[in-house]
Chains A and B, each alone.
Chain A
Amino acid sequence: MSTAIETTGLCYSASKDFSIRGLSLKVPVGALYGFLGPNGCGKTTTIRLLLGLLRPDAGTVRLLGHPVPSELPEALSKTGVVPDRPHLHRYLSVGEAIAFHRAFYSTWDGKWAAEQLNEFRLLPGQKISRLSKGESAKLTILLALCQTPDLLVLDEPMDGLDPVVRRDVLSALLDYVSRRGATVFVSSHLVHELERFCDWIGVMDRGRLVVELPMTEFRNGNKRIRFTAVQPVEATDAPFTLLNRNRDAGSAETWVVRGWRPEMSAWFDRPGLAVREVTDLDLEDGFVELLRAFRAREA
């Protein structure tokens, strides 16, 4: 098994205005996969399809090699999930919620759970209904991690959390991943959050997968190139993908390109063209340019 999550041609019609069309994801085993996309692009719907909470209209889903939904319980027994909204029984205390959760997982790590409880400064007697948002998030991630899953699916786990809690949660997550080598599939619309620890990235927009590639490739392949040209230049035969172009004052022009490699600078070695500057795009800029180009193409 080389992929932890694999979907092929996934389609789901959520409403008249929104649908997921032909989604094919491949999340390699052991990857820290960031699932990026603007609000409302279908990230949560995709996660629900992956976890069997929704039935796709077409396409297939495999989770840790198990087809969904026919082998869903087997897949879920090795998958820790942090949903996008609070879902725990609010009338229970922290200790009771942990005891209840533990009953369903034979792989539960009680020792680590006790340590993590201490680490997160959660008290077993605290009522879930009285937990703050941060404490709630910590409990949810604790439950997901202590079942020692091979795959973690996190839907906007840091959304609305303060920086301290965010750091605590992230460090617990990375600690777990480093110890267990688990695959993490984390969705977010906060680009910087994923930039720090993801090694794979998938970008989604309007129900479609825009791009899926290793983070290094994404980061290194997105460049801003400033050059001067006597005459307007066409990029039809370029070995990279032109995402955006801006004609500056005079003969200066700025291109945003994807799939850049250093040897491609040779393409600009032609009369009347002079490359002034090639700079890296940070993840956010790359993400924005990618979406802009995708939407222009769609339009």
Chain B
Amino acid sequence: MLKAIMRIQWKGSWHLVVALAVAAFALPIVSVRTGWSGTPANLPGFLTELELWGLFYPALAAVAAIVVAVSIWISDRRGHHIYALLLPIPRWRYVLLRYLGGLMLLLPIVLALWAGAIIAAASLDLPPGLRTFPHALAAKFALSLLLLFGVAFAVAASSSRALGISVRLLGLFIAAHIAVIMLRPGTNLIWTVVTALVTSPGPFAPLGGRWMLIDV
């Protein structure tokens, strides 16, 4: 069954996966080649530039996660999930198969980034004091992708009703935020929630920090 699911998911989104894998492969290489002048003349500047390039890793992870999650579910959604719901397997198992199939689609993207990071790191003659982290960077990317894919998958798998409830709750939260600001200036609900989400043990903590292929 997993093989069958993987086969149709690959068929439905191979072109997107290939494009994302190419981007993932190119990102580390481009990031070091554009900033590296061949001499250690301006290492702080180079590292600062590399840190800015680091913003593209979580962005790429987000795009890949959303694209793959949407491409997995779009066909089922179009058919109102009827085909899937009529298959003779427990529904949780179908969702799990879809999820595992999605992970298989993400694998080439992670591997491409890993390969790109190794090649990029090997292509530089760095002075002592600086170290390369291709494996750690690829692992961080993989974990972030896993996390973002989990979020995108959960949203894409939801029924319209569940999505509607989520959107309404979000609207209520924003309204509460505005009300609180008006009544108690200085209390920022959105900031509090966002901070909780992006700092450990918040779900998006792995996306934070510095995405450095080369660091001290």
Direct contact of A and B (CB under 8 A): yes
Q: Which residues of A contact B (CB under 8 A)?
A: 51-53, 73-74, 76-77, 79, 81, 83, 85-92, 96, 99-100, 103-105
> Which secondary structure characterizes the binding site on chain B?
helix
In the docked arrangement, what's the CA distance between A46 and B85, Å? Answer: 16
- Chain A residues, Cβ within 8 Å of B86: 51, 53, 76, 81, 83
CB of B135, distance to nearest CB on chain A (Å): 36
- Chain B residues, Cβ within 8 Å of A89: 8, 12, 75, 79, 83
- Chain A residues, Cβ within 8 Å of B3: 103
Q: Tell whether, in the assembled complex, residue A103 and residue B90 are in contact, meaning their CB atoms are under 8 Å apart.
A: no
Q: Tell whether, in the assembled complex, residue A96 and residue B79 are in contact, meaning their CB atoms are under 8 Å apart.
A: no
New A-B contacts (18) at CB < 8 Å, excluding given A51-B85, A88-B79, A99-B7: A51-B86, A53-B82, A73-B89, A73-B90, A74-B88, A76-B86, A77-B88, A81-B86, A83-B82, A83-B86, A85-B80, A85-B82, A89-B83, A92-B11, A96-B7, A100-B8, A103-B1, A103-B3
> Is B4 an interface residue when CB atoms closer than 8 A count as contact?
yes
CB of B129, distance to nearest CB on chain A (Å): 52
Query: Which of A83, A89, A91, A103 has the most chain B CB atoms closer than 10 A to its own CB?
Result: A89
Checking B1, B7, B75, B88 against A91 with a beta-carbon cut-off of 8 angstroms, the contacting residue is B75
Q: Which residue of B lies closest to A102 (CB)?
A: B4
Q: Tell whether, in the assembled complex, residue A52 and residue B85 are in contact, meaning their CB atoms are under 8 Å apart.
A: yes
CB of A267, distance to nearest CB on chain B (Å): 50
Q: Tell whether, in the assembled complex, residue A96 and residue B11 are in contact, meaning their CB atoms are under 8 Å apart.
A: yes
CB of A70, distance to nearest CB on chain B (Å): 11
> Which residues of chain B from 109 to 134 have a CB within 8 Å of any chain A CB?
none
> Is B87 an interface residue when CB atoms closer than 8 A count as contact?
yes
Q: Which residue of A lies closest to B90 (CB)?
A: A73
> Is B78 an interface residue when CB atoms closer than 8 A count as contact?
yes
Q: Tell whether, in the assembled complex, residue A88 and residue B83 are in contact, meaning their CB atoms are under 8 Å apart.
A: yes
In the docked arrangement, what's the CA distance between A76 and B82, Å? Answer: 13
> Which residues of chain B from 24 to 71 have a CB within 8 Å of any chain A CB?
none
Checking A53, A73, A85, A99 against B4 with a beta-carbon cut-off of 8 angstroms, the contacting residue is A99
CB pairs A–B below 8 angstroms (23 shown)? A52-B85, A53-B82, A53-B85, A53-B86, A73-B90, A76-B86, A76-B88, A79-B88, A83-B86, A85-B82, A86-B79, A87-B80, A88-B83, A89-B8, A89-B75, A89-B79, A89-B83, A91-B11, A91-B75, A96-B11, A103-B1, A104-B89, A105-B88
CB of B100, distance to nearest CB on chain A (Å): 14
- Chain A residues, Cβ within 8 Å of B88: 73-74, 76-77, 79, 104-105
In the docked arrangement, what's the CA distance between A79 and B11, Å? Answer: 28
Q: Which residue of A lies closest to B2 (CB)?
A: A103
B contact residues, range: 10 to 19
In the docked arrangement, what's the CA distance between A104 and B83, Å? Answer: 12
User: What string of 1s and 0s marks CB contacts (under 8 Å) between B135-166 and chain A?
Assistant: 00000000000000000000000000000000
Q: Which residue of A lies closest to B71 (CB)?
A: A91
In the docked arrangement, what's the CA distance between A92 and B88, Å? Answer: 20
- Chain A residues, Cβ within 8 Å of B4: 99-100, 103-104
Closest 7 CB pairs of A and B: A103-B4, A77-B88, A87-B79, A76-B88, A87-B83, A87-B82, A89-B75
> Which residues of chain B from 72 to 100 have a CB within 8 Å of any chain A CB?
75, 78-80, 82-83, 85-90
In the docked arrangement, what's the CA distance between A96 and B89, Å? Answer: 20
Q: Tell whether, in the assembled complex, residue B12 and residue A91 are in contact, meaning their CB atoms are under 8 Å apart.
A: yes
Q: Tell whether, in the assembled complex, residue A96 and residue B85 are in contact, meaning their CB atoms are under 8 Å apart.
A: no
Contact status of A96 and B1, CB under 8 A, knowing A83-B86, A87-B82:
no
CB of B101, distance to nearest CB on chain A (Å): 12
In the docked arrangement, what's the CA distance between A81 and B90, Å? Answer: 17
In the docked arrangement, what's the CA distance between A100 and B97, Å? Answer: 13
Q: Which residue of A lies closest to B89 (CB)?
A: A73
Q: Tell whether, in the assembled complex, residue B1 and residue A104 are in contact, meaning their CB atoms are under 8 Å apart.
A: yes
Q: Which residue of A lies closest to B1 (CB)?
A: A103
- Chain A residues, Cβ within 8 Å of B12: 89, 91
Query: Which of B11, B80, B85 has the most chain A CB atoms closer than 10 A to its own CB?
Result: B85
- Chain B residues, Cβ within 8 Å of A104: 1, 4, 87-89
Contact status of A90 and B75, CB under 8 A, knowing A96-B11, A100-B8:
yes
In the docked arrangement, what's the CA distance between A53 and B1, Å? Answer: 22
Q: Which residue of B lies closest to A48 (CB)?
A: B82
